[in-house]
């Protein structure tokens, strides 16, 4: 076990954990946005800012990405930390002012309205959808597209591959700002994404007649599990 200090309190944590993990275990609250416990941390939103002592000075870092170290000293509620979090959330709020999740973070930090004027966008580029698709679904259907020389785009974005996407809706579930939404209409699932609308045919249960998932998702599950698609003719409710 590693011993570190968080807000002056000695905390023990297993090697390989992050400051965020150690703080959570000790009951110390650190807000997050681009973090999900089942995914590798991305460290993009900076909402989880904390200060760590390096040599004689205190530096800002992100609690969700920084691993615990013996003797590490961490501050989670200093004025510098709060300022950094307020700035991160204010920038996010300026881009996505109607997001419930961001508004809630802003409210907790005492921000009523952003003082910046930024171009509003649905996607805040947290990459939770990219990581969920890659690490949980295993399809790698979503790509982060960065700006760069020779790239014909105005701003970075995330892009769903029409070929690879199976319409499972994990990305919509992971997205903290409703930049990806899903709706099932009749035999069709519609996935609204930052890169456009995708449509998928839904599979009908042979027993109850309910549409329960996409045909592409069944093909994917059958492929990775070595089963046949016919085994999924009946929905999970009717199978029990
Ligand atoms: S679509 Fe949602 S989950 Fe994906 S990067 Fe944008 S905000 Fe994050
Ligand atoms: S939650 Fe840590 S950087 Fe976003």
Q: pLDDT tens digit string along 11-53?
A: 999 999 999 999 999 999 999 999 999 999 999 999 999 999 9
Structure tokens at 39: 């995914």
Residue 220 has pLDDT above 60, yes or no: yes
The pLDDT of residue 77 is: 96
- The 10s digit of each residue's pLDDT in 171-212 is 999 999 999 999 999 999 999 999 999 999 999 999 999 999
Ligand 1 atom at minimum distance from 177 CA: 7
Asked if pLDDT for residue 157 goes beyond 80, the answer is: yes
pLDDT at residue 150, as a whole number: 56
Residue nearest to atom 6 of ligand 1 (CA): 123
Asked whether 142 and 91 are in contact (CB, 8 A), the reply is no
Q: What is the mean pLDDT of the chain?
A: 94
Residue 61 in contact with ligand 2 by CB distance below 6 A = no
What percent of the chain is modeled with pLDDT above 70? 97
Mean pLDDT of 55-62: 94
With a Cβ cut-off of 6 Å, ligand 1 is lined by 123-129, 158, 174-175, 177, 179-180, 194
Which atom of ligand 2 lies nearest, measured to the CA of 44?
3
Q: Which residues contact 86 (CB under 8 A, 6 or more apart)?
A: 109, 110, 111
Give residue 174 CA to ligand 2 midpoint distance, Å. Answer: 14
Reported as half-sphere exposure (CB side, CA atoms, 13 A), residue 109 has a value of 31
Pocket flag, ligand 2, residue 34 (CB < 6 Å) = yes
Q: Residue 227 C-alpha to ligand 2 middle, in angstroms?
A: 38
For the stretch 221-239, pLDDT in tens is: 999 999 999 999 999 999 8
Measured from the Cβ of residue 221, the count of other Cβ atoms closer than 10 Å reads 16
CA gap 168, 138 in Å, rounded: 11
The response to whether residue 88 sits with its C-beta less than 6 Å from ligand 2 reads: no
Q: What is the pLDDT of residue 8?
A: 95
Cβ 46 under 6 angstroms from ligand 2: yes
Residue nearest ligand 1's atom 4 by CA: 129
């Amino acid at each position: 076990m590693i011993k570190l200090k968080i807000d002056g309190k000695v905390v023990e944590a297993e090697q390989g954990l992050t400051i965020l993990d150690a703080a959570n275990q000790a009951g110390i609250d650190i807000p997050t946005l681009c973090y999900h416990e089942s995914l590798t941390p991305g460290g993009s939103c900076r909402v989880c800012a904390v200060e760590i002592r390096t040599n004689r000075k205190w530096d800002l870092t992100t609690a969700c990405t920084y691993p615990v170290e013996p003797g590490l000293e961490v501050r989670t509620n200093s004025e510098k930390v709060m300022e950094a979090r307020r700035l991160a959330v204010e920038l996010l709020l300026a881009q996505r002012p109607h997001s419930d999740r961001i508004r809630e973070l802003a409210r907790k930090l005492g921000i009523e309205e952003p003082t910046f004027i930024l171009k509003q966008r649905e996607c805040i580029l947290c990459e939770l959808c990219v990581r969920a698709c890659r690490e949980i679904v295993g399809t790698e259907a979503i790509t982060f597209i960065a700006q760069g020389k020779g790239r014909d785009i105005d701003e970075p974005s995330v892009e769903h591959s029409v070929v690879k996407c199976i319409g499972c809706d994990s990305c919509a579930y992971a997205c903290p700002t409703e930049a990806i939404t899903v709706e099932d209409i009749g035999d069709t699932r519609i996935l609204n994404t930052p890169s456009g609308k995708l449509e998928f045919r839904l599979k009908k249960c042979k027993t109850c007649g309910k549409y329960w998932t996409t045909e592409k998702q069944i093909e994917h599950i059958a492929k990775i599990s070595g089963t046949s698609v016919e085994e999924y003719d009946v929905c999970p409710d009717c199978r029990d």
